[in-house]
A and B are shown apart, each in its own frame.
Chain A
Amino acid sequence: MIALLMRDLRLSLRAGGGFGLGLAFFLIVTVMVPFSVGPQSSLLAEIAPGVLWLGALLACLLSLDRLLALDWEDGSLDLLATAPLPLESTVTIKALAHWITTGLPLVLAAPVLGVLLNLPTPGYTWVVVSLLLGTPALSVIGTFGAALTVGLKRGGLLLSLLVMPLYVPTLIFGAEVARRGAIGMDTHTPMLMLAGITAASIALLPFASAAVLRVNLR
């Protein structure tokens, strides 16, 4: 399992630009927001937590396409499926690798981009905490979407259409934690819900992803 994780990490680091692409996209989305809503700093401060969450979500979505497609094309996915490791674990490891290469950098970059959006001071901690709790769910749900569309020629657009509605609960609670934290409200309830969604997704969705992948590999 460790070997598989290291392999996926190394592949995404070395395969041209895949690693930094999500981060660059996150930066671009954040920079575009003031251009589209205007430079009033009070307005930006108000919407900053939501914008950071939306940017992180879109950046995550962008990289899902490559998650399984490359392994599918060169046939290594067939080998992984016939390996002694259960497919459920393989899928979980792949989601973990995706999170380490996409989710974690986004979490680390969020405070820096918060400065650009004039994020209120108490908001920094909460944006990081909410993203740290929520992005694993985004990766796991995204892996399910990638597994659904892996056999398709142009699955990218369809992938977004399928995954977006599934992201709704995570986005609601994640952005709510960040928003409430930024204005100094109690974040207890949405944070528990967010953690619950993440835990349940990690526990259950790999089974669905593996089932779907088996159908696609048949």
Chain B
Amino acid sequence: MSFWEYANPKKFLTTTERMMPFLWLTSGTLVAVGLIWGFFFTPDDYRQGSTVKIIFLHVPAAMTAINCWVMMLVTSLVWIVRRHHVSALAARAAAPIGAVMTVIALITGAIWGQPMWGTWWEWDPRLTSFLILFLFYLGYMALWEAIDNPDTAADLTSVLCLVGSVFALLSRYAVNFWNQGLHQGASLSLDKKENVADAFSNPLYVCLAGFVLLFIALVFYRTGTEIRARRIKALLARERIGA
């Protein structure tokens, strides 16, 4: 068994379909357990009160949003190098998930930031680079939608993903430089990792695991949908010719 066998859409579909019930069940359970545990069975933070609990939604969503782009980068590379069709479709399927995760992270961040920093939005490096990441997702999806020929679209979006990754990384550090020393309050998000007590970290780990599995499940599911949509297109085309 090798990774390259899954370039065959049929093989990909049968394998993922066997995995789907397990994936939905575990990811759903983990997210539910993690969130309920986090929201109702952790103590209030001595400094931030109950608002700290949004961390259980905010951090996993933010992490998934970034890793989703990394996954798209890898699948785009695989498509460029080896013309692995399922890989290109997986990149396409992942983009909206990443965009939604970015929005969740931004919104929960705003809800968290309002009572903590006294503002819904701050031009803080981390927030700003997330907004830019969201713009990258939008552009990527728009390019996929705009091109009719699926192979051309896959080629172009793959190159866009490569170039975009470099520039996204560059913006991340440029933005850091741009606003350095203006908003010290933002370091709150930096020492989060060090400050989190055990009572918070355990449900957070459960949530993170849940989000990772949920992401995998969604990508598999949407990739399957993409494959089927392509098949329908092919069947319709064949019908038109009358073959």
Contact = CB atoms under 8 A, between A and B. Distances in A.
A and B interact: yes
Interface of A: 144, 148-149, 151-152, 155, 158, 161-162, 164-166, 168-169, 172-173, 176, 189-190, 193, 197, 205, 208, 211-212, 215-216, 218
A27 B138 CA distance: 30
Contacts of B218: none
B225 to A, nearest CB: 24
A165 B142 contact: no
Given A161-B138, A162-B143, A169 B167 contact: yes
B167 A168 contact: yes
A168 B134 CA distance: 13
B177 A190 contact: yes
Contacts of B237: none
B160 A148 contact: yes
Given A165-B167, A168-B167, A215 B174 contact: no
Contact of B135 (A164, A197, A216): A164
B156 A216 contact: yes
B136 interface: yes
Contacts of A164: 135, 139
B132 A165 contact: yes
A148 B156 contact: yes
Interface residues of B, number: 25
Interface string B153-188: 001100110111001101100110110000000000
Given A148-B160, A216-B152, A169 B146 contact: no
Contacts, number: 75
Given A168-B174, A169-B170, A172-B178, A208 B159 contact: yes
A94 B137 CA distance: 28
Nearest to B152: A215
Interface centre among B143, B146, B155, B177 (most CB of A within 10 A): B146
B196 interface: no
B174 A172 contact: yes
Contacts of A166: 163-164, 167
A190 B135 CA distance: 24
